[in-house]
Amino acid sequence: MAAAARMSSSAAMALVDERMSTEGTGLPYGLSNNLLGWILFGVYGLIWALYYFVYTCALEEDKESGLSL
């Protein structure tokens, strides 16, 4: 009975190699390379900066904007 338990529990311990990518390795967001994290951070920052720029430009009202009553 103990031998059967030992045999079935060893199946859960899998070898993680390059072919398995990052599935089940515990890496955050599946990032296997630090460069990918910086790219993700840079794209997020770029989108946020563009949104902030457009938002602040939209706040500047002029007499022809039609936003004020």
**Average pLDDT, rounded, for the chain:** 73
Among 34, 31, 11, residue whose Cα is nearest residue 23 = 31
Residue 58's pLDDT is: 76
Residue 7: pLDDT over 70: no
Stated pTM of the model: 0.50
How many residues are present in the chain? 69
Q: Could you tell me the two tokens for 46?
A: 């770029």
Residues 32-61 pLDDT 10s: 788 888 999 999 999 999 999 988 887 776
Distance CA 46, CA 52 (A): 10
Four-point Cα dihedral 28, 51, 53, 36, nearest 10 = 30
Number of H helices, E strands in the chain: 2, 0
pLDDT of residue 57: 82
